[in-house]
């Protein structure tokens, strides 16, 4: 923040900022920078004590050369320290963004017509360039319902007191360890990758203020002055002596909705939670959600992303500040920096992050050999485009059918049984690609049921060499670099079963989530339920109706989809069947045949993945003149598989079953990696000189 332009841009932001406290804070900092007087230093101190500091971001001249002058490079950050109550712990881990850290997305005034995706998702939709951007509102299928009108998350829309979320978690959801007979753990882990690509609620910790923001139409952010916090008691299991304490969870922050909505200039807009990552499946978790985030992890040489060499292998770069980003117990324990701050949350996630990063560099290196005349930018963007396409292909054609059902996906046009080289031009500009709140806060979280608390370490001969206890390694990813752990964990995820998709949630996340070195931690299922109320999701009954199912008139009507015994339990907890949270009801339905969810969640998930596909102009099957692949290239992308991705990017993984999401069997035997189809990158040899070294600008 040293140049005059920085100061001017701060002043510019300041003049746009509706919030006086912030405005004066920024003004004071600007003056300080210009004058550097002792008086100013005291201003800065005053501002810091208010909890605001300033982050400076620099635009990527490489991608949007024309936008430097228009970019708004500054956001305000609330740096208030977290409360020291030992029962209150961060949801994602210590380094996660605190309330106030989000700002509203501002798309560029003119969209450059590029053959590549932007980093922040802007300009994917050319008429509404903000759609799907990082730091925009979640979408809604049904209007939010916040309890008794003052939006209490402990009170239902009918005015009834809602049962404690931990109690619901304990009474309705089990903790049994039931291995899935068909699917491997890498299913679950890939699911978390997709989740982290699609959404992340702003705020995100229990220990700070509520993530809710109201983004106004002109991109301003209303601050959280209007929000206040409430806490709820977390009951601990009586059967375990370690659980003799009662903790307090403070993840629900009540807002006075009437006030907040009154401050939204456009009366059509309701207050809505913000999501801080791009909605598109664009590997934003690998590349970052803004030009600035990207520039921190990109090498700017040979099209590569930054890696660090250790013990003869390439790893994700280290975090700038391990004590903030991780729960590492010593300074030598590595903690990572990636496109998504949640990278360190668990070892399996860090493993897949590493694999996707290595895949990028593997592709970039190959392209550099095939096209020595390409510059860094072309190599980077082409490698990124191929990496994203492989990932989308694996997700839509190999992974999603397991969850949504192959026939269901075909019928709803989420996938096609297309010839190998045919484009599918189904981009639909009338579709909003935003991630739906009901998807991110309820339906997709159901797959927390698949989490396994024991991570097997498996040798090349597929014998168990050891295991990791999940709660020992939350936010301590360095374990993947030890000895042969990386490959053993990779094989382990492709070998061991995931937990059955049912009403059981593993103890490691139901009682020990983020426990660090304490005896117990949080309950992810209880958090999911509480978050449902916090985001004001419409009720289970409302979603049933929306999804074309019969609206229930009484508890018994739910027995068409939920076991009668379970309905009895629900009846004992909730005052009315109208109060049942969608997170709870949806997770209890009998699955649709061929899918891993009941009809209500299947409806939400299908809607979401339809929107994610057809609302994305850059979806890999699209034959767009500038952004699409050639038919030959598309045929290669369609050879990508989870198995080959794991093979190619291990330290030395030599063998794998061809269908890595399915357990090894006689019809899916372990074979040498070289026998698994690979994407032939020679189809990217640039014979026609189509790719120029300068960014292409076609104008409007
Ligand atoms: C070891 C594995 C996992 C752990 C420890 C984990 C933990 C968490 C935590 C702590 C949150 C934030 C909760 C809150 O504050 O409201 C969260 C959010 C979420 N999780 Fe997971 N999760 C895991 C795997 C998965 C999987 C496999 C899926 C789906 C396939 C999934 C889907 C989601 C979704 C959709 C969200 C909300 C994202 C948003 O903020 O918009 N998670 N998870
Ligand atoms: Ca994304």
Q: Identify which ligand lies nearest to the alpha carbon of 435.
A: 1
pLDDT value for 144: 79
**347-370 vs 376-393: helix axis angle to the nearest 10?**
130
Beta-ladder partners of 457: 466
Mean pLDDT of all residues belonging to the chain: 79
- Are the beta carbons of 473 and 517 closer than 8 angstroms? no
Other residues' Cβ atoms within 10 Å of the Cβ of residue 657: 22
- R_g over Cα of the chain: 25
Q: For this structure, is 393 an active site residue?
A: no
Is 440 close to ligand 1, i.e. is its CB under 6 Å away?
A: yes
CA dist., res. 584 & res. 586, Å (int): 6
447 lines ligand 1 (CB under 6 A): yes
Report residue 85 CA to chain centroid gap.
28
Catalytic option among 196, 353, 360, 535: 196
Q: Which ligand is nearest to the CA of 531?
A: 1
Residue nearest to atom 42 of ligand 1 (CA): 192
The preferred substitution site among 351, 445, 604 for testing ligand 1, maximizing ligand atoms within 8 Å of CB, is: 445
Residue 93 clears pLDDT 90, i.e. is over it: no
Alpha carbon nearest to ligand 1 atom 19, residue: 445
Q: Is 527 in the pocket of ligand 1 (CB under 6 A)?
A: yes
Residue 97 contacts residue 276 (beta carbons within 8 Å): yes
The CA 447 to ligand 1 mean position distance, Å, reads 9
CA of 319 to the centre of ligand 2 (A): 21
CA of 280 to the centre of ligand 1 (A): 17
- Give me the interface pTM, i.e. the ipTM: 1.00
Which ligand is closest to the CA of 440, given by its number? 1
- 237-251, 573-587, 619-633: range with lowest mean pLDDT: 237-251
* Band of residue 695 on the pLDDT scale cut at 50, 70, 90: very low
Q: Is 522 in the pocket of ligand 1 (CB under 6 A)?
A: no
Rounded to whole angstroms, how far apart are CA atoms 358 and 380? 13
Identify the residue whose tokens are 């003052």. Answer: 150
Backbone angles phi, psi at 174, to 5 degrees: -90, 180
pLDDT on residue 80: 31
pLDDT tens per residue, range 71-83 = 222 222 222 333 3
Of 179-193, 226-240, 445-459, 563-577, which gets the smallest average pLDDT? 226-240
pLDDT at residue 258 in the model: 46
Using the structure block, give the residue that is written with the tokens 């991109």: 219
Report how far ligand 2's centroid is from the alpha carbon of 61 (Å): 21
At residue 213, the 3 state secondary structure works out as strand
Cβ neighbours of residue 446 closer than 8 Å, sequence gap 6 or more: 501, 583, 586, 587, 597, 601
pLDDT at 686 over 60: yes
Residue 374 pLDDT grade (very low, low, confident, very high; cuts 50, 70, 90): very high
Predicted pLDDT of residue 263: 56
For a mutational test of ligand 1's pocket, the pick from 96, 192, 194, i.e. the residue with the most ligand atoms closer than 8 A to its C-beta, is 192
Query: Is the minimum distance from the CB of 195 to ligand 1 under 6 angstroms?
Result: yes
pLDDT at 329: 78
Kindly tell me the burial class for residue 6, based on how many C-beta atoms sit within 10 Å of its own C-beta (0-12, 13-18, 19 or more). middle
Residue 324 pLDDT class (50, 70, 90 cuts):
confident
How far apart are the C-alpha atoms of 575 and 156, rounded to whole Å?
A: 9
Provide the pLDDT for residue 153: 55
Is the pLDDT reported for residue 438 higher than 60?
yes
Instruction: Look at residue 682 and tell me whether its pLDDT is greater than 80.
Output: yes
Q: Can you tell me which atom of ligand 1 is nearest the CA of 435?
A: 41
- Cα–Cα distance measured from residue 66 to residue 677, given in angstroms and rounded to the nearest whole number: 41
Q: What ligand is nearest to the CA atom of residue 96?
A: 1
CB atoms inside a 10 Å sphere around CB 428: 14
341 pocket-lining for ligand 1 (C-beta < 6 Å): no
How many Å lie between the centroid of ligand 2 and the Cα of residue 280? 4
Predicted pLDDT of residue 625: 85
Across the range 78-94, mean pLDDT stands at 30
The pLDDT tens digits for 661-674 are 999 999 999 999 99
Binding site for heme b: which residues?
448
Tell me the average pLDDT across 47-64. Answer: 25
Residue 207 scores a pLDDT above 60: no
Residue 204 Cα: closest atom of ligand 1: 15
Inter-axis angle of helices 165-172 and 524-534, nearest 10: 130
Q: ∠109-695-298 over CA atoms, to 5°?
A: 90
According to the per-residue pLDDT averaged within each range, which of 163-177, 416-430, 490-504 is highest? 490-504
Q: What is the pLDDT of residue 392?
A: 98
Q: Is the CB of 404 under 6 A from ligand 1?
A: no
Structure confidence at residue 213 as a pLDDT band (50, 70, 90): low
**Would you say the CB of residue 260 lies under 6 angstroms from ligand 1?**
no
pLDDT of residue 218 exceeding 80: no
Cα(445) to centroid(ligand 1), Å: 6
DSSP states of 456-469: EEE-TT--EEEEEE
- The more confidently predicted of residues 545 and 22 is 545
* Range scoring the smallest mean pLDDT among 105-109, 132-136, 339-343, 405-409: 105-109
Write down the pTM of the prediction.
0.83
pLDDT reading at 92 higher than 50: no
Q: Is 200's C-beta closer than 6 angstroms to any atom of ligand 1?
A: yes
């Amino acid at each position: 923040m040293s140049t005059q332009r920085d100061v001017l841009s701060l002043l510019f932001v300041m003049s746009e900022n509706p919030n006086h406290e912030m405005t004066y804070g920024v003004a004071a900092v600007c003056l300080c920078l210009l004058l550097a007087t002792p008086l100013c230093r005291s201003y800065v101190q005053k501002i810091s004590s208010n909890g605001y500091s300033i982050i400076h971001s620099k635009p990527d001249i490489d991608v949007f050369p024309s936008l430097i002058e228009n970019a708004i490079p500054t956001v305000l950050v609330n740096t208030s320290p977290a409360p020291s109550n030992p029962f209150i712990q961060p949801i994602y881990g210590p380094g996660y963004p605190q309330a106030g850290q989000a700002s509203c997305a501002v798309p560029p005034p003119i969209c450059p017509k590029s053959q590549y995706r932007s980093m922040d998702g802007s300009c994917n939709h050319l008429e509404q360039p903000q759609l799907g951007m990082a730091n925009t509102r979640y979408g809604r299928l049904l209007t939010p319902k916040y309890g008794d009108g003052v939006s209490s998350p402990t009170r239902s829309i009918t005015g009834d007191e809602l049962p404690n979320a931990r109690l619901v978690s304990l009474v309705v959801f089990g903790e049994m360890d039931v291995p899935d007979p068909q699917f491997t753990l890498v299913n679950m882990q890939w699911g978390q990758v997709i989740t982290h690509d699609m959404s992340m609620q702003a705020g995100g910790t229990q220990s700070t203020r509520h993530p809710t923001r109201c983004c106004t139409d002109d991109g301003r952010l209303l601050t959280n002055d209007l929000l206040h916090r409430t806490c709820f008691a977390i009951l601990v299991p009586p059967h375990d002596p370690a659980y003799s304490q009662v903790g307090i969870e403070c993840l629900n922050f009540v807002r006075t909705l009437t006030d907040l909505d009154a401050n939204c200039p456009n009366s059509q807009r309701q207050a809505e939670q913000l999501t801080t990552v791009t909605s598109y499946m664009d590997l934003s978790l690998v590349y970052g959600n803004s030009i600035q985030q990207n520039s921190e992890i990109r090498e700017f040489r040979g099209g590569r992303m930054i890696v660090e060499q250790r013990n003869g292998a390439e790893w994700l770069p280290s975090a700038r500040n391990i004590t903030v980003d991780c729960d590492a117990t010593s300074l030598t324990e590595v903690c990572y920096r990636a496109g998504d701050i949640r990278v360190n949350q668990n070892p399996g996630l860090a493993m897949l992050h590493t694999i996707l990063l290595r895949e990028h560099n593997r592709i970039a290196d190959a392209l550099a050999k095939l096209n020595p005349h390409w510059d860094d930018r072309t190599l980077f963007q082409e490698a990124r485009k191929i990496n994203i396409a492989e990932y989308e292909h694996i997700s839509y054609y190999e992974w999603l059918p397991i969850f949504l059902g192959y026939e269901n996906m075909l019928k709803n046009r989420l996938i096609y049984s297309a010839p190998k080289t045919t484009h599918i031009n189904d981009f639909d500009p009338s579709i909003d690609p935003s991630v739906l709140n009901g998807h991110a806060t309820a339906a997709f979280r159901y797959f927390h049921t698949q989490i396994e608390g024991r991570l097997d370490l498996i040798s090349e001969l597929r014998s168990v060499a050891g295991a990791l206890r999940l709660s020992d390694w939350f936010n301590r990813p360095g374990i993947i670099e030890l000895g042969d752990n990386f490959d053993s964990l990779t094989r382990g995820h492709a070998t061991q079963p995931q937990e059955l998709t049912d009403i059981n949630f593993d103890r490691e996340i139901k009682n020990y989530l983020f426990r660090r070195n304490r005896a117990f931690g949080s309950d992810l299922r209880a958090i999911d339920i509480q978050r449902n109320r916090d985001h004001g999701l419409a009720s289970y009954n409302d979603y049933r109706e929306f999804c074309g199912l019969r609206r229930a008139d009484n508890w018994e009507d739910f027995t068409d989809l939920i076991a009668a015994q379970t309905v009895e339990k629900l009846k004992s907890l909730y005052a009315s069947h109208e109060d049942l949270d969608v997170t709870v009801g949806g997770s209890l339905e009998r699955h649709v045949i061929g899918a891993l969810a009941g009809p209500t969640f299947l409806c939400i998930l299908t809607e979401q993945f339809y929107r994610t596909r057809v609302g994305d102009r850059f979806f890999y099957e699209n034959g767009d003149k500038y952004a699409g692949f050639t038919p030959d290239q598309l045929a290669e992308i369609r050879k990508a598989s989870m198995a080959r991705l794991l093979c190619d990017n291990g330290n030395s993984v030599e063998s794998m079953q061809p269908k890595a999401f399915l357990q090894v069997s006689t019809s899916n035997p372990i074979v040498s990696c070289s026998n698994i189809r690979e994407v032939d990158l020679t189809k990217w040899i640039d014979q026609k000189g189509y790719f120029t070294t300068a960014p292409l600008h076609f104008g409007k």
